[in-house]
Chain A
């Protein structure tokens, strides 16, 4: 029993796959910051950003549908922004009255909500592209290159390694619960029980999972100590970035700056 669906990485040989993880991570962050900085309603800039996202997606060989499907998962959050169409003041788009009062939808409000949803959707797709084309160990190396403390990166690595092991264990616990609760179906007991009882059972499973993790953590430490671990995080140095990769990094950053300038000029 293996939890494979957890790992979003799709092995491949596309140009995006081959791009150095350090460059990929830096450019993804730059893209997302740029997208966040573009003012509301600067549609030309959004089109450019979308063109970039689309090109990257096409280059990954994963199929655009993969990105679109996953990116829409974030859109429900956009509902939180929806009331802005009423609350942002501006040129009225539509007005109606009801018992509670008069509601006015403003052009600026709609513009803002659409912009927020677009920003989120575009950023999300870039993040998906990063995760889908970069094996996690390379991502760890990229994190170190971005000066994230080595100790923290080491803990990230351990967490990722045991994510799968523990997700398997969690799944086993859930299966065991499912097996037991169907056994009592035909008895006269109320199936499922009260919410509090269900919560306590779930809590028991969480406790069980934590207990196993504590024990495993101790054993892992023993295994590390057996090979000379002394508390310091040590890794082999990374090879220097090649000229071509530097070029892509510089080019990507320049494009981000240009889009921002354009957006500010238009706004």
Chain B
């Protein structure tokens, strides 16, 4: 029997979970980056890459159907940002992931439409920039030796998923739709595991390509992106590394940041609370509250993943069964 499931939609934020302010800001960032990427792809890579990006986007989407059972009904999945980046370079990868996430939202409601800017940002931009930064750094550090393809692929794939997840949690917290000290550790915690699946599949795919068409592994390197993306990767990594624990270890961490920035006044007078309260009432000890919330969050999100995996498995068993009759 075939279980055809897609990537667990834990990273695909549906509509309704982001405040309009957060959603539109991320749309804006995404639009700017995608437009730059389109220009760069046209200029650097040439017209041959246009059909290539379309087909590879389809391949990444189809690749998300490939999964392997891990335990308890969950399965390892591919998101593909890392593979796309390593094979095609960051600019083409941004466009490929934009198409993948765009179709998922538009056609399959995996992720919302208003939230699509954020979803593209989290998986298609953060995931790509992190991969590019980590992969290239490791390859450069190893003097482009062969093993660095796999070590770099593993680490960059894992980190791209974990950081995408942390950013997703941060956005939910900023939107006031999930407490920061739940959303961020829960997203991060779950994706530390999901990221391993991504990393293993990525390495498997890279190994296959290395032994059949090693030339394909050079495309991503052929045009080294400028210092910009390297810097962006560094800044992004540091920002996430600082912001996430800060936000989640202080239950009111986001408010603290907001206060420092001096826009708490704005936040409170806005028609919608940009910065909600995150206190776990009744518990004085903040550290304990954080840990408790973290555990609750991890359990909740794990339950979500389990539930979805089961729901999808049953649904897809039915569709696979009806298909074999074709």
A and B directly contacting (CB within 8 A): yes
Residues of A within 8 A of B (CB): 1-5, 7-8, 28-29, 32-33, 35-37, 39, 70, 73-74, 76-77, 79-84, 86-89, 95, 97, 100-104, 106, 112, 116-124, 127-128, 130-131, 136, 139, 149, 151-152, 154-163, 165-167, 169-171, 173-175, 178, 192, 195-196, 198-214, 216-218, 220-221, 224, 229-231, 233, 264
Q: Does B216 make an interface contact (CB < 8 A)? A: yes
Contacting residues of chain B (186-222) with chain A, CB-CB under 8 angstroms: 186, 197, 200-209, 212-213, 216
B304 near A210: Cβ-Cβ < 8 Å: no
Chain B contact residues: helix, strand, loop or mixed: helix
Residues of B within 8 A of A (CB): 1-2, 4, 9-10, 13-20, 23, 34-35, 38, 42, 46-48, 50-59, 61-63, 65-71, 76, 78, 83, 87, 95, 98-100, 102-103, 105-109, 112-114, 172, 176-179, 182-183, 186, 197, 200-209, 212-213, 216, 271-272, 276-284, 288, 292-293, 296-297, 300-301, 303-304, 307-308, 311, 319, 323, 326
A89 near B281: Cβ-Cβ < 8 Å: yes
Question: With A and B bound together, what is the CA distance between A210 and B300 in angstroms?
Answer: 35
Q: Name the residue among B23, B59, B292 with the largest chain A CB count within 10 angstroms.
A: B59
CB < 8 Å neighbour of B109 from A74, A88, A112? A74
Question: With A and B bound together, what is the CA distance between A80 and B9 in angstroms?
Answer: 13
Closest to A156 in B: B99
Nearest-neighbour CB distance to chain B for A53, whole angstroms, equals 13
Question: With A and B bound together, what is the CA distance between A122 and B108 in angstroms?
Answer: 15
Nearest-neighbour CB distance to chain A for B229, whole angstroms, equals 20
Chain A contact residues: helix, strand, loop or mixed: helix
Residues of B within 8 A of A149 (CB): 35, 38
Closest to B209 in A: A207
Closest to A70 in B: B109
Residues of A within 8 A of B67 (CB): 202
Nearest-neighbour CB distance to chain A for B80, whole angstroms, equals 8
A101 near B282: Cβ-Cβ < 8 Å: yes
Question: With A and B bound together, what is the CA distance between A89 and B279 in angstroms?
Answer: 8
Question: With A and B bound together, what is the CA distance between A4 and B322 in angstroms?
Answer: 11
A81 near B68: Cβ-Cβ < 8 Å: no
B114 near A32: Cβ-Cβ < 8 Å: yes
A229 near B47: Cβ-Cβ < 8 Å: yes
A116 near B17: Cβ-Cβ < 8 Å: yes
With A162-B58, A211-B216 known, 16 other A-B pairs at CB within 8 A are: A5-B323, A28-B113, A80-B178, A87-B280, A128-B109, A131-B107, A155-B57, A159-B99, A166-B59, A171-B65, A199-B200, A202-B67, A204-B205, A207-B212, A213-B55, A217-B55
